[in-house]
Structure 1
Amino acid sequence: MFSKACEYGIKAAIFIATQSYEGKRVSPKEIAKEIDSPQAFTAKILQALVKHQVVNSIKGAYGGFEIERNQIKNVKLSQIVNAIDGDSIYNGCGLGLKKCDEDHPCPVHDKFKSVREELKDMLENTSLDELARNIKSGTSFLKI
């Protein structure tokens, strides 16, 4: 459903949030290791997250990536998805057809429309805080 870059972006943001709650900044190398992503690819994803103001990049000897603790609850999953994949997840065809709309629907168009609406609702109403707390409590995991 999400691109590989978006999957890594979501995992990276969750990991950065968990570390930010502990007052720690993390390097691209640490993030890549934690989310099992190639380091160069992770760096590119992090640039997009910084550009869209999802995470902060601090330069210098004690630098790294962080999210201000008081902002973690304000970051929605939809912001991360938008930073990496744009809004195509809300508009794309369920079968991947180049042209699929109300006038020329694919066989799953009407059914997939409701799935997209539910997905949009979930992404807009799920905070990074909620996901990070699930990691910290051990009720969910970033890797096995």
Structure 2
Amino acid sequence: MLSNSSKYAIKGVLYLALNSDEDHKIMVRDIFDAVHVPEAYLAKLLQELSKKGVISSMRGPKGGFYLSEEDRKGTLMDIVRVIDGEKRVHSCVMGSRSCDVDNPCVLHKHVGDATSNFIKVLEQTTILDLIEGKRDVEEFFPS
């Protein structure tokens, strides 16, 4: 359903949500180890999210990535759309390019409702929803 890239991006955004704001920006070198994602790969993902307005960033000596209050209202689907594109989420679980409602694969009918529910969760769950009441990074990124 989600690529590793989207999973890594979500982890990076959650870390930022727990540890950053407009006054406290974070460099990728301070994140990658905690979220268990290669530094260069995480940098690329966060740069893309920043470029598309999903997260915020600032250049310079006091720069880095951060989540504004507005960024925290973004959904998981906002992240997935930037990283994977929407087609990936709606793609066939068997990998068939011709699978759709009119030409379903053998699993289509069996996973259709689950896929719809999963998409609904991505569209309705905000970053803020996930971090409310949580401040312990270990809850999100166990060793």
TM-score (norm 2): 0.89
Gaps of 5+ in 2: none
Aligned residue number for residue 109 of structure 2:
110
Aligned residue number for residue 28 of structure 2:
28
Moved over 3 A (4+): 137-140
Alignment of 1:1-144 (within 5 A): 1-20=1-20, 23-68=23-68, 70-133=69-132, 135-136=134-135, 140-144=139-143
Residues matched between the structures, number: 143
Q: Are the structure 2 counterparts of residues 116 and 80 from structure 1 closer, same or farther at C-alpha, using a change threshold of 3 Å?
A: same
Which residue identity lines up with residue 47 of structure 2 in the other structure? Answer: Q
Distance in 2 (alpha carbons) for counterparts of 1:7 and 1:17 = 15
Distance in 2 (alpha carbons) for counterparts of 1:139 and 1:43 = 22
Deviation at 1:133, TM superposition (A): 2.8
Q: For the Cα contact (< 8 Å) 2:18–2:137, is it kept in 1? A: no
Give me the CA root mean square deviation: 2.0
Task: Please identify, of 76-85 and 19-28, the stretch whose mean Cα deviation from structure 2 is larger.
Answer: 19-28
Greater helix content:
1
Distance in 1 (alpha carbons) for counterparts of 2:115 and 2:13 = 23
TM-score (norm 1): 0.88
Distance in 2 (alpha carbons) for counterparts of 1:117 and 1:98 = 18
Which residue identity lines up with residue 100 of structure 1 in the other structure? Answer: C
Which residue identity lines up with residue 18 of structure 1 in the other structure? Answer: L
CA deviation vs aligned residue, 1:33-89 (integer Å, no higher than 9, x gap):
121111111111011111221111111111100111x21441111101111111023
Distance in 1 (alpha carbons) for counterparts of 2:124 and 2:101 = 27
Q: For the Cα contact (< 8 Å) 1:135–1:142, is it kept in 2? A: no
Distance in 2 (alpha carbons) for counterparts of 1:106 and 1:99 = 8
Deviation at 1:14, TM superposition (A): 0.6
